[in-house]
Amino acid sequence: MTRVYNFSAGPATLPEEVLKKAAGEMLDYQGSGMSVMELSHRGKEFTQIFDTAEATLREIMGIPNNYKVLFLQGGASMQFTAIPLNLMTKNKKADYVHTGQWTKKAIAEAKKFGIVNVVASSEDNNFTYIPELDPKTFSKDADYFYIVTNNTIYGTCCKSIPETGDVPIVADMSSNILSEPIDVKKFGVIFAGAQKNIGPAGLTIVIIREDLIGNAVENIPTLLNYKVQADNGSMANTPPCYSIYIAGLVFEWIKEKGGLVATKKINEEKAAILYDFLDQSKLFSSPVDKASRSLMNIPFVTGNDELDAKLIAEAAKKGFKTLKGHRTVGGMRASIYNAMPTQGVKALVELMKEFEAANG
C-alpha cells in the first residue's frame, strides 16, 4: 500500500492515524458487533460518539455555552440558503464582503430573500486580496454581516474580523476552521462543510449563538430551520452518522496534538516552507497579495501554461496529487490543511526546486 501526498482542496487528505483507527473499528465498533455505519443513530453507542464529538469540538474551539453546535447535511452551500431564511428576517437586509466564488453564490441566494449590500469586493483583481473595509459603508440595520474567512479557490484569508457593533457576523469557515484558535464570541454564526479540515463530505457544522435561533421566515423548509435542528439535537432526521464519527476522531487527534494553538504553529511553519520558496524562486510565484495569504490553500504559477501542466504531470507521477489550480484561476494550488504532514510540503518544495533547475 502506498499513500500519496494529496493536495486536494476538498475532499481533502485526512490524518493517517484517524483512518487507521476507523479501519480497525470498521467491522466491530467497540464490541457492538457492528460498524459505525450500521449503528442506530438513537442507540447508546452512536449517542456517545455524537456527544463526545460535540464536547471535543466545544473544548478545542472554546465554544461558549450560549452557542449551539449543529451537525447538518447539505454542505456549506446549503447554508448559503439557510442563512438568509433564518436570519434575513427583521429588516430583510444583509451586508456581504465579496471575496470570490463562494461569496458570489452566497450573495445570489441571499438576493432571493432580501436586500444585499456588497460592502467591499476584490473582484477587480481576480480576488487575489482581501479588500479593506470601511465601517462607514456598513448597514447599521443589516440583519447580519457575511464574510468568508478563507477563500479556498484564491488562497486568501482574513487576518482580522470586522467590528460590526450589534450586527452579528456570519462566517463561512469551510476551509480554515480548526486551523488556528478563533474567538467564537466575535461571531453570530460560523459554518463549515466538513470535507476540508474536519472529515468526510456529507457533514456541515453550524455554530450559532442561541439568540439568533427562532427568527426564521414563516414558510421555511423544516430541515433548514435552525430552531428545528437545535430543538432536535441535530436529529430531526437521520444525521450523517459516519461523517460525524470520523469528525469526532479528527477532533480527538487535534486535541492530542495540543489543540488549536499547537495546530496554528505547525500550520504557520508548514505554509512558510512553501511561501519562502515561492518568494525567492525565479520560476514560480504566488499571485496572492502578501498581506492576505492563506495558511491552508496556496496557489502558485509559472506564468506559462505548458510548464504548469508539465509540473502537475511530473508531480503526479511522483505521488504528489491534485495540485492543479481551480479552473477559474489556473496554475497550481497546494491545499495544506491540518492533516497534510510538514514532510509533504518539504518534499513538494524539493520537487519544485528540481523542476526549476531543469526548466528555469
Ligand X SMILES: *Cc1c(COP(=O)(O)O)cnc(C)c1O
**Which residues here bind ligand X, judged by CB under 6 A?**
10, 75-77, 102, 148, 152, 172, 174-175, 193, 196
Which residue number, 68 or 196, has a Cβ lying nearer to ligand X? 196
Reduced to 3 states (helix: H, G, I; strand: E, B; else coil), residue 307 is helix
Closest among 85, 94, 89 to 142, alpha carbons compared: 94
- Cβ within 8 Å of residue 149, ≥6 positions away: 157, 158, 171, 172, 173, 176
Q: Are 179 and 294 in contact (CB under 8 A)?
A: no
From the list 172, 253, 308, 324, the catalytic residue is 172
Q: How far apart are the first and last CA of the chain?
A: 34
What SS3 class is residue 120?
Answer: strand
247 forms bridges with which residues in the sheet? none
Output Rg (C-alpha) for the chain, integer angstroms.
21
Give the whole-angstrom CA distance, residue 186 versus residue 183.
6
The beta strand positions in the chain, using DSSP E, are 5-6, 67-72, 93-98, 115-121, 144-148, 150-151, 156-157, 169-172, 189-193, 204-209, 297-300, 320-321, 332-335
In whole angstroms, the minimum distance from the beta carbon of 83 to ligand X comes to 12
What would the grid cell of residue 28 be?
Answer: 466491530
Cα–Cα dist 17/23, whole Å: 10
Q: Would you tell me how many other CB atoms lie within 10 Å of the CB of residue 89? A: 16
Cβ–Cβ under 8 Å, residues 214 and 199: no
Residue of 95, 102, 308, 324 marked active site: 102
| Residue with smaller CB distance to ligand X, 69 or 349 | 69
Among 196, 253, 270, 324, the active-site one is: 196
Report the residue number, 83 or 351, with the smaller CB distance to ligand X.
83
Q: Is 51 a catalytic residue?
A: no
196 counts as catalytic = yes
Closest approach, Cβ 152 to ligand X, in A, equals: 3
As measured in angstroms, the least distance from the Cβ of 148 to ligand X is: 5
Residues belonging to the active site: 102, 172, 196
